[in-house]
A and B are shown apart, each in its own frame.
Chain A
């Protein structure tokens, strides 16, 4: 289980997150949607302290970290319990596909090289990148790099996978390919929190949609509730903006 309580974050005087609460149960797949610049990515990055929140608590499983006095060990604990998939893939560009998936297992999880290799090959097979294991990231398409990045994150056995706009740097075809990979991961029961602008994908994949605007969670519910029957005015406007005319048709 992952729980965010009273999370706030400002950049200089700009309040990006204000008092955000969010709970995700094990096995849930939750998507955060909303206009650009409303703190969706910042919320995700506060969970593993890539951005240090000003206030609030983050809980993953048995570990609760309070922004008031987080120890280095606690922050590290959040990273160990979560995995992250970045918009720009962020594979280590000086390492092959296989090394990318193996290295963290060896140096962070202290697995033997043999064990890490077997696990890496298994995960690469799942994302369909086994044939590319000896290539460098610069030799791969963006979609392929992102699939390797997913394999790398999954191989660390995180309690939750955080996906930060995983397909927004990709063209439509590659987007489909990465989305299919994420669907496969979902079938294995991985808990996921996804920031995305791919509304159709979120609607079809997720148990729950969280709508954010201006640093707040405005509304959350099942895809049906949010897309067919939004309660809040701001959600309605956003949905109408996304599906201008008879948006009901899509649902």
Chain B
């Protein structure tokens, strides 16, 4: 096998093919984020105001899942879940797509890590702000939507941003299950070329991930401006 010189043309020729796999990466990311944050809110609620036993269970779950590498969790869910469900209920999960298992694993991990973030954001909101809303006659839901969410969101935006980035990066692991996301596609092209374009294809994948991260960063810096109102003193 002879390694050729760096082949920029090969990258440019194949970039569209790899970008063609972008919807796979983005859809796994978005669905995992949605369910992960939902789960995170529920876990956070349990940690803040659940009964003692629930708080203990969630704490234990947090400690366990934090200690497991994402790729290991992915395999545990992919191979383990059908077995567990099968032996408990007799139901078969054969019909489930690989993406479903990926989303379950990523959402579980995100749910646990984001629950800590939501909890500290809630704790960061000053009691007086909530008391003011109470005295003005806000209902519980109005206090949540009008005071806690807007004020808490500003606190956690930097964390949300890095959570999105780490989920995007975690999706790169799905090629190990044979899903053709960005990395999977890049590797496939490299394989078809008898592995002589490995560097080129990984570089192409890196460029796409980097661009994706750039877009996420821009979106979140806009959001921070939007929710950071009143934080900075502007010259009168």
Query: Which A residues form the contact surface with B (CB < 8 A)?
Result: 48, 50, 76, 79-80, 82-84, 86, 88, 90-96, 103-104, 107-108, 135-139, 152-153, 156
- Set of chain A residues within 8 Å of B233, measured between Cβ atoms: 136, 138-139
Shortest Cβ gap from B70 to chain A (Å): 35
- B142 contacts the other chain (Cβ, under 8 Å)? yes
- Set of chain A residues within 8 Å of B147, measured between Cβ atoms: 92
Interface residues in B139-180 (C-beta closer than 8 Å to A):
139, 142, 146-147, 150-151, 154
- Set of chain A residues within 8 Å of B236, measured between Cβ atoms: 135, 139
- Set of chain A residues within 8 Å of B132, measured between Cβ atoms: 84, 86, 90-92
- Set of chain B residues within 8 Å of A107, measured between Cβ atoms: 138, 142, 146
- B230 contacts the other chain (Cβ, under 8 Å)? yes
Known A93-B231, A94-B154; further 19 A-B contacts with Cβ < 8 A:
A48-B135, A50-B135, A82-B135, A86-B132, A90-B128, A92-B133, A92-B147, A94-B150, A94-B227, A95-B230, A104-B133, A104-B138, A108-B137, A108-B138, A135-B236, A136-B229, A136-B233, A139-B233, A152-B136
With A79-B134, A79-B137, A94-B150 in contact, is A138–B230 under 8 Å at CB?
Answer: yes
- Set of chain A residues within 8 Å of B138, measured between Cβ atoms: 104, 107-108
Which of B131, B146, B234 is A86 in contact with, Cβ under 8 Å?
Answer: B131
A sample of 14 inter-chain contacts (CB < 8 A) reads A50-B131, A50-B135, A79-B137, A82-B135, A92-B133, A94-B150, A94-B151, A94-B230, A107-B142, A107-B146, A108-B142, A135-B236, A136-B230, A138-B233
Q: How far is the CA of A139 from the CA of B135 in the complex (A)?
A: 24
Q: How far is the CA of A107 from the CA of B146 in the complex (A)?
A: 9
Chain B at the A interface: mostly helix, strand, loop or mixed? helix
Q: How far is the CA of A153 from the CA of B131 in the complex (A)?
A: 13
Q: How far is the CA of A152 from the CA of B138 in the complex (A)?
A: 13
B135-A137 in contact (CB<8A):
no
B135-A79 in contact (CB<8A):
yes
Shortest Cβ gap from A112 to chain B (Å): 17
A103-B129 in contact (CB<8A):
no
A139-B234 in contact (CB<8A):
yes
- Set of chain B residues within 8 Å of A95, measured between Cβ atoms: 229-230
A90-B129 in contact (CB<8A):
yes
A86-B128 in contact (CB<8A):
yes
Total count of chain B residues near the partner, CB < 8 A: 25
A96-B136 in contact (CB<8A):
no
Nearest neighbor of B142 in chain A, beta-carbon distance: A107
With A94-B229, A96-B230, A137-B230 in contact, is A79–B136 under 8 Å at CB?
Answer: yes
A76-B139 in contact (CB<8A):
yes
Shortest Cβ gap from B77 to chain A (Å): 39
Q: How far is the CA of A136 from the CA of B230 in the complex (A)?
A: 5
Shortest Cβ gap from B124 to chain A (Å): 12
Shortest Cβ gap from A169 to chain B (Å): 12
Shortest Cβ gap from A4 to chain B (Å): 17
- Set of chain B residues within 8 Å of A48, measured between Cβ atoms: 134-135
Interface residues in B88-122 (C-beta closer than 8 Å to A):
none
Q: How far is the CA of A127 from the CA of B234 in the complex (A)?
A: 23
Q: Which of A82, A93, A94, A107 has the most CB of B within 10 A?
A: A94
Q: How far is the CA of A42 from the CA of B233 in the complex (A)?
A: 34
Which of A93, A108, A136, A137 is B136 in contact with, Cβ under 8 Å?
Answer: A108
- Set of chain A residues within 8 Å of B135, measured between Cβ atoms: 48, 50, 79, 82-84, 86, 153
Nearest neighbor of B132 in chain A, beta-carbon distance: A90
- Set of chain A residues within 8 Å of B136, measured between Cβ atoms: 79, 83, 104, 108, 152-153, 156
- Set of chain B residues within 8 Å of A83, measured between Cβ atoms: 135-136
Shortest Cβ gap from B125 to chain A (Å): 10
With A48-B135, A76-B139 in contact, is A93–B129 under 8 Å at CB?
Answer: yes
B137-A80 in contact (CB<8A):
yes
Nearest neighbor of B127 in chain A, beta-carbon distance: A90
Q: How far is the CA of A146 from the CA of B136 in the complex (A)?
A: 15
Interface residues in B12-28 (C-beta closer than 8 Å to A):
none
Nearest neighbor of A83 in chain B, beta-carbon distance: B135
- Set of chain B residues within 8 Å of A136, measured between Cβ atoms: 229-230, 233-234
B184-222 toward A: CB 8 Å interface, digit per residue (1/0)? 000000000000000000000000000000000000000
Nearest neighbor of A135 in chain B, beta-carbon distance: B236
Q: How far is the CA of A76 from the CA of B142 in the complex (A)?
A: 12
Shortest Cβ gap from A152 to chain B (Å): 7
Q: Which of A83, A86, A107, A152 has the most CB of B within 10 A?
A: A107
